[in-house]
Structure 1
């Protein structure tokens, strides 16, 4: 064989491979990351979606790393990717995780579906461990954009419960339908995430979230994601966390946009540092590790790092009957959580923010009507005017007014801003009927992800369409946080476009104008516009 022919023979396969580009993505293929080689698999229903579960992004926060900031995990080994990591240690969130009290079932007319929904809030069947700092990825790189927008979800749970393994948060339908990469994360919660130690870092849970974002930035391109288009979104405590990131990392946010859902940095009020320190020393003293008079304070921390976690868990406050609200939560340190956020700069990034129509429809089912009446009357009803006034005030103080103020500030600073209100009520999301629970806190999350439990009642057609509409809107924002929602009229090929000819996308939020987007209205899968002040009484 002539030398030229021999050279051509060896070069031809290389030229052909270059012309064809990289090999076609295989569902569940191994992805090499800074944590190691992650093996995936097909998602359970959307089988063209690759699912990667339980990827460690931080070293286990145990022993000498307990109660300290997270340390980045580096690995070169094999990660199975076949199951979710354990949930982080929750608080003793009351006996409701066993049997919901019959008295409250009767008081509020709680349905069988409602009882099932409430029980899922205590993470039944999900293992717990201190070694919990993992994340999960859903992606479909074989179609669509080569570098897809990325949505990173932060779960709620009042900062004392929750997990990325909750079935409602499975990201397969987002990745299947909207050409995005969906990521969910675990972060330390309750006393382990927000210990209150005045001589150490306090907001460990927020720092866990930040380290997870850094992992996404550094690795997501290998899953088909665009590290320059990361949107951080979350609900309840997750929504508040998302908002805290805009203050804590204003000059280096990593993210391109944020979606705080039913939670803001000011609405879910941060703990004063003194109250947090008191809870820290109450626990350390109860466990024989010293108190505020112990010197040096490092002795207290060293002792607490050696106590078995069940012993710590046994000392924690019951978080439903606690003497102060949100007893384990972000703590003012003026480093990541600020005394007066309104006077602190925020990240210059777009925001989509909103609340549900009846946030307290969830919370009131944990509280006997007699508690609200204040007189201990066992015959107090859940439908009295006093009840309605009290719970409406709770809605406004904790959720609606803080969201209105946050949206107004974002818009006034020139950031593209959208505001919504969720009205969706469906047969398989209803909690109770004395009075009707309405669009309660967290009622939109499973609809958004497409994971409403249908074991008792199937989704309605409008519910299915509404979920598709929501996923399309969140993805449109992630795809282009500056202009993506302005032209959004629903997913391609979906719904009755003729009925929405008048819709010209979502207008940016302007206080005082008809720019608040109502979602999930009865019989309507799209949206309607009203003025924000229509809902902002007492703000």
Structure 2
């Protein structure tokens, strides 16, 4: 093992590019887009950043457009840009208001910070609607490069919850500190995004993501972004979406780089078509829209006419079990494949990683099993880490590196008082614990930052932005991150001992059982 502080050299590029700034940029100025004229405003904290919220990129997927591929939104009117668009419908709205069970709070020693974190999983206070296909942009064109690298973030939520309006994903600090344009998107979730209709489109939610990327390609230059330097990144279901994207559009990816955080196409297992079909017909029967013997066009028309709340009432409640994904990408062998490793992927630089204890989040949703000893439970959850996250990430990184594609792999170890979830056992660096640190949006209202925490987040933002600035070598040339090789010291540990920089170990150091 060796320890080194790999500091990303950003100052020189920014100074060199200053001569290329736009002649004038007024914070929040109106920007002309294919969706219309979008009015902006100053971000809440980073007041030199222009924030544009709730921009429609696709027509409302309602009535005849429900369960269909997205249709591009073109508009000539004004868009206020003041508020996030509604979240896309989850599987069960009533679960949004459910309190986390007190008995599990007691059993696992869930902290006050942890209770706040758990509350955010179900997007409290965020409106929901079937008309939800919007995106958000943060930019600071008055400084730095004239055409900045662009980072498009896909949120997680097990494909059944989540929203670009979640406070953790606010992009103002990325745009303020790293000279990038940051974009977050909504996409259809649960049955609306992954309906399972055997005679229709299986994965509209993934097509939404693609259309959002197309919108960015066509419009981001007006916000100071470089359409040739778009990096697609996401966490959990978002990380899996990034991976699916690379297989779905191998020859026309649009984007220049991929960052997959705690999620791969094979780790967050896609649904077999048979399961998707079964869930589709379960719902059609419940809504009196027929079954497998009903003419497909008649059935679809019926399903498109059902009010959304009535449809939602028939779905499985998945919010209370975020590790279960009955509504998720479906194997159609067009966008989603039975064995992704047998299909080509976009030959793009890849940054991929996991947290040190992914199951630290999922474990607390499951009551302790009385027939298991503590050691057996620990062994079980470690195996879940390996099966669902670590080994799939290792396989994806190994494939990318073997094909000669620049590949970097990391593991998140950061544990801080204001991100602590549970104590019995300690949740450690659990699934999703790095996201708010990365975005600089950790809630410090209960427990403030500790020494070095802000620097850890700043270091990560610098690394992610260095990758976006030059995916083929920015991490390597800017700060010395080694390209990933399984048998060499190339796996970068982030947040190690709560310090900025990186501790580097063998690439396969954590790959037991793989």
TM-score range, shorter chain: over 0.9
Distance 2:142 2:388 in 1: 43
What residue is the counterpart of 2:115 in the other structure? 115
Q: Alpha-carbon deviation of 1:339?
A: 1.3
Please tell me whether the aligned partners of residues 90 and 190 of structure 1 are also in contact (alpha carbons under 8 angstroms). Answer: yes
Please tell me whether the aligned partners of residues 21 and 145 of structure 2 are also in contact (alpha carbons under 8 angstroms). Answer: no
What residue is the counterpart of 2:426 in the other structure? 436
Q: Alpha-carbon deviation of 1:321?
A: 6.8
For residues 481-539 of structure 1, the C-alpha deviation after alignment (integer angstroms, 9 at most, x for no partner) is: 011001344xxxxxxxxxxxxxxx10000111110000001142110111122100011
Please tell me whether the aligned partners of residues 258 and 352 of structure 1 are also in contact (alpha carbons under 8 angstroms). Answer: yes
What residue is the counterpart of 1:360 in the other structure? 359
Matched residue of 2:195: which SS?
A: coil
1:313 paired to 2:303: no
Please tell me whether the aligned partners of residues 20 and 145 of structure 2 are also in contact (alpha carbons under 8 angstroms). Answer: no
CA separation of 1:21 and 1:345: change in aligned 2, threshold 3 A: closer
Distance 1:420 1:97 in 2: 35
Q: How does 1:56-135 map to 2 (within 5 A)?
A: 56-92=56-92, 95=95, 97-135=97-135
Matched residue of 2:493: which SS?
A: strand
Which of residues 386, 400, 422 in structure 1 aligns to 2:412? 422
Q: Alpha-carbon deviation of 1:325?
A: 3.8
Please tell me whether the aligned partners of residues 240 and 264 of structure 1 are also in contact (alpha carbons under 8 angstroms). Answer: yes
Distance 1:523 1:138 in 2: 29
What residue is the counterpart of 2:335 in the other structure? 336
Please tell me whether the aligned partners of residues 22 and 142 of structure 2 are also in contact (alpha carbons under 8 angstroms). Answer: no
1:224 paired to 2:199: no
What residue is the counterpart of 2:10 in the other structure? none
Distance 1:409 1:281 in 2: 38
Please tell me whether the aligned partners of residues 453 and 499 of structure 2 are also in contact (alpha carbons under 8 angstroms). Answer: no
Please tell me whether the aligned partners of residues 94 and 318 of structure 1 are also in contact (alpha carbons under 8 angstroms). Answer: no
What residue is the counterpart of 1:479 in the other structure? 469
1:46 paired to 2:46: yes
Flag the structure with larger Rg.
1
| TM-score normalised to structure 1 length | 0.90
Distance 1:324 1:432 in 2: 18
Distance 2:268 2:393 in 1: 11
Please tell me whether the aligned partners of residues 94 and 320 of structure 1 are also in contact (alpha carbons under 8 angstroms). Answer: no
For residues 168-188 of structure 1, the C-alpha deviation after alignment (integer angstroms, 9 at most, x for no partner) is: 000000000000000000000
Moved over 6 A (4+): 321-324
Q: Alpha-carbon deviation of 1:417?
A: 0.2
Please tell me whether the aligned partners of residues 93 and 160 of structure 1 are also in contact (alpha carbons under 8 angstroms). Answer: no
Distance 1:322 1:438 in 2: 20
Matched residue of 2:110: which SS?
A: coil
CA separation of 1:387 and 1:96: change in aligned 2, threshold 3 A: farther
RMSD of the TM alignment (CA)? 1.7
Distance 2:86 2:319 in 1: 23
Please tell me whether the aligned partners of residues 21 and 143 of structure 2 are also in contact (alpha carbons under 8 angstroms). Answer: no
Distance 1:20 1:158 in 2: 42
1:405 paired to 2:395: yes
CA separation of 1:257 and 1:180: change in aligned 2, threshold 3 A: same
Q: Alpha-carbon deviation of 1:94?
A: 7.4
In structure 1, stretches of 5+ residues that fail to align are 1-18, 490-504
For residues 48-72 of structure 1, the C-alpha deviation after alignment (integer angstroms, 9 at most, x for no partner) is: 0000000000000001000100000
Distance 1:63 1:168 in 2: 32
Distance 1:470 1:20 in 2: 26
Q: How does 1:189-268 map to 2 (within 5 A)?
A: 189-268=189-268
CA separation of 1:179 and 1:303: change in aligned 2, threshold 3 A: same
What residue is the counterpart of 2:459 in the other structure? 469
Distance 2:296 2:345 in 1: 34
Q: How many residues align?
A: 496
What residue is the counterpart of 1:526 in the other structure? 501
| TM-score normalised to structure 2 length | 0.94
Please tell me whether the aligned partners of residues 248 and 334 of structure 2 are also in contact (alpha carbons under 8 angstroms). Answer: yes
Q: Alpha-carbon deviation of 1:91?
A: 1.1
CA separation of 1:411 and 1:471: change in aligned 2, threshold 3 A: same
1:153 paired to 2:153: yes
Distance 2:402 2:350 in 1: 12
